[in-house]
Amino acid sequence: MPAPAIRTSQLTKDYGAGRGLFDLDLQVTDQEVFGFLGPNGAGKTTTIRLLMGMLWPTAGSAYIFGLDCTRDAVDVKRRVGYIPGDVPQFGSLTGSEVVAYLGGMRGGVDKGRVRSLCERFELDLGRRFREYSSGNKQKLAIVLAFMQRPDLLILDEPTSGLDPLNRQEFYTLLREHRDEGATVFLSSHILSEVEHICDRVGIIREGRLVHIAQLDEVTAANLEEIFLSYFSESKPKPKLLPS
Amino acid sequence: MIPILFGLRLGRWGLIGFSAAGFLSILAQTAGFYQIAGNTPAERAAFGASMSALAAQFIALFPAPIRPDTVGGFVEFRGIHPLGILLCVWALVSATGFARGDEERGIVEATLATPTSRIALVASRAAAFTIAIAVASAAACAGYVVGVAFGHETGELRGVLEDGVLLVALGLACYALSLFIAQLVPGRAATAAAGGALLGLFLVNSLSRELQSLVAWRWLSPFRYYDLSQPLPPGGNFDVRAFFVLVAIAVVGTAAAALAFTRRDLGSSLIPFPARHRPVSVAPSPNPLWRIPVVRGVYERRLGLLAWSAGMAAVAFAFVLLTRTIVNVLLSVPALLPYLSIFVHQQIYPAVLGYTWLNVAQLLFAALAITHVARWSAEDVDGRLEMTLSQPFSRSAVVVERMAILTVIALVVAAISGAVLFVQSHAQGIDLNAGRLVATSLMLVPFALVFAGAGALLAALAPRAAVGLLGAFAFASYLDVELATIFKLPTWLQDLSAFKLFGTPLLTGVDGRSLTLMVALALAGLGSSILLMQRRNVGA
Radius of gyration of the CA atoms of chain A, in A:
18
Q: Which of A49, A84, A97 sits opposite B387 (nearest CB)?
A: A84
Strand order in the sheet with A208-214: A80-83, A152-156, A183-188, A33-37, A200-205, A208-214
pLDDT at B207: 85
pLDDT for res B63: 85
The β-bridge relationship of strands A59-64 and A208-214 is unpaired
Query: Looking at residue A242, what is its pLDDT?
Result: 47
**Within a domain: residue B485?**
yes
List pLDDT tens digits, range B193-225: 999 899 999 989 988 887 788 888 999 999 999
Strand-pair partners of B515 = none
Answer yes or no: are the C-beta atoms of A187 and A217 closer than 8 Å.
no
Q: What is the pLDDT of residues B293-313, one digit of tens each?
A: 999 999 999 999 999 999 999
- Contact (CB, 8 A) for B498 and B521: yes
Instruction: Specify the pLDDT at position A243.
Output: 41
Q: Residue B287 and residue A100: Cβ atoms within 8 Å?
A: yes
> Domain span at residue B499?
290-540
pLDDT at B344: 55
A227: closest CA among A215, A216, A238, A214?
A: A238
Confidence of residue B423 (pLDDT cuts 50, 70, 90): very high
Task: Classify residue B489: in a domain, yes or no.
Answer: yes
Q: φ, ψ for residue B206 (rounded to 5)?
A: -70, -40
Q: Which residues of B touch A103 (CB under 8 A)?
A: 284, 290-291
- pLDDT score recorded for residue B482: 60
DSSP letter, residue B63 = P
Residue A141 has pLDDT above 70, yes or no: yes
Output the pLDDT for position B129: 96
Mean pLDDT for all residues in chain A: 88
Average pLDDT over residues B345-359: 76
Distances (CA, A) of B524 to B86, B443, B457: 30, 18, 9
Considering the domain boundaries, does residue B363 fall inside one? yes
Which of A24-28, B40-44, B54-58, B344-348 comes out lowest in average pLDDT? B344-348
Residue B427 makes CB contacts below 8 A (sequence gap 6+) with none
Question: Residue B537's closest chain A neighbor by CA?
Answer: A55
Is B440 part of a structural domain of the chain? yes
Residue A40 to chain B, least CA–CA distance (Å): 15
Please write the tens of the pLDDT for every residue from A8-61: 999 999 998 889 999 999 999 999 999 998 888 889 999 999 999 999 999 999
Report the residue of A50, A96, A131, A156 to disrupt the B interface, i.e. the one with the largest count of B CBs within 10 Å: A96
CB A20 within 8 A of CB A12: yes
Q: Kindly list the residues from chain A whose CB atom is less than 8 angstroms away from the CB atom of residue B278.
A: 94, 126-127
Nearest by CB: B383 against A86, A101, A127: A86
Report which listed range, A109-123, A181-195, B5-19, is most confident. A109-123
The domain total for chain B is: 1
| Contact between A55 and B538 using a beta-carbon 8 Å cutoff | yes
Question: Quick check: B390 and A111 CB within 8 A?
Answer: no
Q: How far off is chain A from B276, nearest CA to CA, in Å?
A: 10
Chain B residues whose C-beta is within 8 A of a chain A C-beta are: 188, 278-287, 290-292, 296, 300, 382-384, 386-395, 535-540
User: Is residue B234 domain-resident?
Assistant: no
- Residue A100 and residue B536: Cβ atoms within 8 Å? no
Contact A90 B292 (CB under 8 A): no
Whether residue B343 has pLDDT greater than 60: no
Question: Smallest Cβ distance to A88: which of B283, B300, B382?
Answer: B382
pLDDT at B96 over 60: yes
For B382, which of A77, A89, A109 is closest by C-beta distance?
A89
On the question of pLDDT at B115 being above 80, the answer is yes
Q: How far is A158 from A167, CA to CA, in rounded Å?
A: 9
Kindly provide the ipTM of the predicted complex, given to two decimals. 0.89
Query: Minimal Cα–Cα distance from B384 to chain A, Å?
Result: 5
pLDDT at position B31 over 80:
yes
Q: Do A126 and B279 touch (CB under 8 A)?
A: yes
Counting one residue from A and one from B, how many pairs have CB atoms under 8 Å apart? 124
Helices then strands, counting H and E runs in chain B, come out as 24, 0
Q: For residue B56, what pLDDT band results from cuts at 50, 70 and 90? A: confident
pLDDT computed for residue B64 by the predictor: 85
Q: Do A106 and B391 touch (CB under 8 A)?
A: yes
pLDDT in the model for residue B144:
93
Query: pLDDT grade, residue A240 (50/70/90)?
Result: very low
Band of pLDDT at residue A233, cut at 50, 70 and 90: low
Q: pLDDT grade, residue A165 (50/70/90)?
A: very high
- What percentage of chain B has pLDDT greater than the value 90? 49
CB contact under 8 A, A77 and B291: no
Mutation target vs B (from A105, A124, A143; most B CBs, 10 A cutoff): A105
- pLDDT given for residue B540 in this prediction: 65
Is B58 within the bounds of a domain? no
What is the rounded average pLDDT for all residues in chain B? 88
Integer Cα distance of B508 and B446 in angstroms: 18
DSSP letters for B399-466 = HHHHHHHHHHHHHHHHHHHHHHHHHHHHHTT----HHHHHHHHHHHHHHHHHHHHHHHHHHHH-GGGH
pLDDT of residue B472: 83
Task: State residue A147's pLDDT score.
Answer: 94
Contact B389 A56 (CB under 8 A): no
pLDDT in tens, B269-294: 888 777 777 788 999 999 999 999 99
Amino acid at B182: A
pTM of the model: 0.84
Contact B390 A90 (CB under 8 A): no
* Model pLDDT, residue A241: 46
Q: How confident is the model at residue B481 (pLDDT cuts 50, 70, 90)?
A: low
pLDDT above 90 covers a percentage of chain A that reads: 67
Cα B253 to Cα B235: distance, rounded to the nearest angstrom:
33
Round to whole Å and give the CA distance between B6 and B277.
39
Domains defined for chain A, CATH in brackets: 1-79+150-243 (3.40.50.300), 88-149 (no CATH)
- Say whether B394 and A144 touch across the interface (CB within 8 A): no
